[in-house]
Structure 1
């Protein structure tokens, strides 16, 4: 699929991305193609020193990274776990982890250390955030509660959410959804959902295999489509670019462009739709 800029003649401004918990341990982030094309700039936060070093080594001219732990601005205890991906400001809950294969070992706390956190609202580099991505093992809602000013500019949020409290006192998806709904966001979709087999059953001797219990997901939230009049023309185009390039939400992009055309007198929606429907070139 062609990029949003290619389909619209370079209509969108460069999008500002803030990635909290930018550790590159998994696959490419959803904005990777936009970044490679020069259509996004990234401000990332990663307190893990080894992960930060990798990010610094790989970064391009449109990326900058900070070692801050983002939270509520207070001092917290960081729980360093056997699996780096489970290290968190929250303490793992053995009772919940014991439901699943592997988790009791992966969530075993090896050490703790006191860390200072910063509020996103107090970080000047985060001003103007349009795509906010959070993956910080249970502290996502803490960050959002102390990012009220930044949220006024944000158009799309991707946040890890849990359906079971893997950590003690961890807010769950329902609390995240209620908080964001009160600030003009609606759930777009889960991207993706992750389930696990509950012990003692194991699927194909694989502790990572999913089965009956939904455990967590990345949830994508977008601005309420019934309140597009609250967005500027620039925001409509930026939101459309994010949803096209990062999430393939072409129907919503078409609606955003149609609204932009109605306001501005431009004519981008129909050419965009025609470009989506054009046959793809055949491989040589």
Structure 2
């Protein structure tokens, strides 16, 4: 299916608004890239390191707006800077005990320096529109960002978050904390896009500290605006769920459910569901 086919079938009124908080991790293409490249989504990228901005502009051109704010609860904070390649810089101090539990993390989580920063609430960023999709990986700061971004997320269709099963930082919210908050605000889990395990110290598997046995470490989880009984959902929000489910995660069943419900309500042509299945099957 061409990227624009479903957008036109859904008769969406505007491109979607996507935000990526922690956008500098460009090791692999983010799930929303095809939508942004096709002009069907506008990217709002957050990165407090100005050295990353040129790469973002080169990748997305005028389809990206860059925000330099450190997202949080709006209070002054300390940023604990680890080596850039570790990906472990955080607003939370690394936990010595939890790092020592896993092979290799005492070195990976070593703090090189501390930096005083001012954090900004998502809801206080005037140039940031209401969001349709949020991706966030900020090393434990996800829950604070969510709690202080409820207005920007009021119409959000899907959220992709990094969550921790064994937090590596002092006071870091766990997967359970985030899951309770998300469910309390009208979302349910949809899928894991990545599930990371890690080996427990001091036992090594095949001499490689990155080769795990069974201990869960963290995951990328996707939440969707509750689709079980979506009677109160705005039609445009349901259309956003359908577009994101299909193009970001190839969740044909979730997209199809939204389209069938919209057709039953008269928000889409009566044959929209059949047309969607035909588009899917044409490239199967």
> Which residue number corresponds to residue 109 of structure 1?
111
Q: 1:52 to 1:61 in 2, by over 3 A?
A: closer
Structure 1 residues 206-215 or 170-179, which shifts more?
206-215
Deviations 1:58-93 (A, max 9, x none): 332211111110001111000001245100000011
Cα gap change, 1:197 to 1:3, in 2 (>3 Å): farther
| Cross-structure match for 2:40 | 39
TM-score where L is the length of structure 2: 0.93
SS for the counterpart of 1:18 is strand
State the Cα deviation string for residues 195-249 of structure 1 (Å, max 9, x = none): 0111222233333223211100011000111232222221111111011000111
1:152-211 C-alpha deviation (Å, 9 max, x unpaired): 111100010000010000000111010111110001111111001112222333332232
Conserved in 1, the CA contact under 8 Å of 2:188 and 2:223?
yes
2:87 partner SS: helix
Partner SS for 1:188 = strand
Q: Does 1:5 align with 2:4?
A: yes
Residue 217 of structure 2: which of 208, 215, 218 is its match?
215
Asked if the contact 2:121–2:149 (Cα under 8 Å) also holds between the matched residues in 1, the reply is yes
Question: Pairwise CA RMSD of aligned residues?
Answer: 1.6
Q: Which runs of 5+ in 2 are unaligned?
A: none
**What's the TM-score, normalizing by structure 1?**
0.93
Q: How many residues align?
A: 279
**Correspondence 1:246 to 2:248:** yes
Task: Report if the CA contact (8 A) 2:199-2:211 is conserved.
Answer: yes
Question: Secondary structure at the residue paired with 1:202?
Answer: coil
> Retained in 1: the 8 A contact 2:7–2:243?
no
Q: Are 2:22 and 1:21 aligned?
A: yes
Change (3 A) 1:8 1:169: closer
For structure 1, the 5+ residue unaligned runs are: none
1:55-134 equivalences in 2 (<5 Å): 55-82=56-83, 83-134=85-136
Per the TM alignment, residue 53 of structure 1 is displaced from its structure 2 partner at its CA by 3.4
**2:282 paired with 1:278:** yes
Paired with 1:47 and 1:213, the residues of 2 have a C-alpha distance of: 32
In 1, distance between residues paired with 2:61 and 2:30? 15
Counterpart-to-counterpart distance in 1, 2:112 and 2:54: 22
